[in-house]
Chains A and B, each alone.
Chain A
């Protein structure tokens, strides 16, 4: 029974930490949205209108760079959750 209660406490603590980390992630994403994506739109549109091949390469580079960097950010956040849960 004691073990069960202990596990339950850990589960509640992990969920709380997870929600806290989600909030941190949301702040990061909001900052990223306003600082980068908001100003990037017009410049990317210029490339889209000027040259489709350049635009295709730029589009792939942007999504790959964002994919890798957000993977690093989310991994780091999930590592922090696990460390704190222990």
Chain B
């Protein structure tokens, strides 16, 4: 099929196939998937300026499907998502400014590439270690007893939610009354962040957070935004773990809320790139026909996995991204 705007000829089945794979990953992990879709579009012969903008447009459509599905499953904290968007946009602008500064003073491509590899490898190793430790801890018989006792205590509705939990289990209850339970060996880090009492303090019932400083959320989102502006893409690989480990959001809710935030931030990105003539919307529409069904499947699959297992399955994603950057450094083919 000829795509007149970008002047390319790409097989629509290839585009639908990429959309389907990235859709499953996006629905399951709450990431945009630009680290896979970008290189795949580039490999199909699309000019690099169109790759970035077109990928963002396709992410909007795919994230709408996945976020709606997660919302139906009670996995979207809209209040948290709206606050995070503010911090993310500020962070993206800062990241873009850093890039501009580096353009004048250093070899920006090398700095960004090494930064990207370092961040992705660190995230992958850290999440792998944490989720493995959590799964090992949950496999111990005394942990199982503790969780069973916790389930029994849950019927006593007069006690506060956190008082009914073992210290490594975090939990949230959505509007439909469904309980989202998660476990992590790093809840002490989360509790330390929750103890930071700079007003205004807010509560996030959907995420099971009774009280947290607004500045903690904005700070986490800002850091994610800086990575997004500095390294490109939506930086879901930074934001999703940040929500889980720093803010204490259960993994399922972090995935759904991240997708909700991606809808807004990617829409903004699509508009700005389209005005500059960097979006071939026809390519994005064809890709999205595959992504729609993939995103539904990915979002539905999250119901059958516990938080630590979702996080453990997340580990190869940043590694793939890092591998692509290393490949482009070695061969000179630029994907991003």
Q: Which residues of A contact B (CB under 8 A)?
A: 22, 25, 29, 32-33, 37, 40-42, 44-45, 48, 52-53, 55-60, 62-64, 66-68, 70-71, 73-75, 78
**Which residues of chain B are within 8 angstroms of A33 by Cβ–Cβ distance?**
12, 286, 289
From B57, B68, B300, give the contact of A63 (CB < 8 A). Answer: B57
CA A73 to CA B275, docked complex, whole Å: 31
Give the interface centre of A32, A44, A63, A66 by most chain B CB atoms within 10 Å: A63
CA A58 to CA B34, docked complex, whole Å: 22
- Do residues B64 and A56 form an inter-chain contact, with CB atoms below 8 A? no
Interchain Cβ contacts within 8 Å, total number: 103
Q: Which residue of A lies closest to B66 (CB)?
A: A71
From A22, A48, A58, A63, give the contact of B61 (CB < 8 A). Answer: A63
- Do residues B285 and A63 form an inter-chain contact, with CB atoms below 8 A? yes
Q: How far is the CB of B5 from chain A (nearest CB, A)?
A: 5
From A45, A53, A63, A78, give the contact of B275 (CB < 8 A). Answer: A53
Supposing A37-B282, A44-B282, A74-B296 touch, asked if A60 and B64 sit within 8 A by C-beta, the answer is no
Q: How far is the CB of A26 from chain B (nearest CB, A)?
A: 9
- Do residues B60 and A41 form an inter-chain contact, with CB atoms below 8 A? no
**Which residues of chain B are within 8 angstroms of A42 by Cβ–Cβ distance?**
4
Chain A CB within 8 A of B279 CB: yes
Q: How far is the CB of B140 from chain A (nearest CB, A)?
A: 29
- Do residues B293 and A37 form an inter-chain contact, with CB atoms below 8 A? no
- Do residues A56 and B271 form an inter-chain contact, with CB atoms below 8 A? yes
Chain A CB within 8 A of B69 CB: yes
**Which residues of chain B are within 8 angstroms of A37 by Cβ–Cβ distance?**
282, 285-286
Q: Which residues of B contact A (CB under 8 A)?
A: 2-5, 12, 16, 57-58, 60-65, 68-69, 267, 270-272, 274-277, 279, 281-282, 284-286, 288-289, 292-293, 296, 300
- Do residues B289 and A78 form an inter-chain contact, with CB atoms below 8 A? no
Provide a sorted-by-A list of 24 A–B residue pairs whose CB atoms are within 8 angstroms: A22-B293, A29-B289, A32-B289, A33-B12, A37-B282, A37-B286, A45-B4, A45-B5, A48-B277, A52-B275, A55-B277, A56-B275, A59-B270, A59-B284, A60-B57, A60-B60, A63-B57, A63-B284, A64-B60, A64-B61, A66-B289, A67-B62, A67-B64, A68-B64
Q: How far is the CB of B66 from chain A (nearest CB, A)?
A: 9
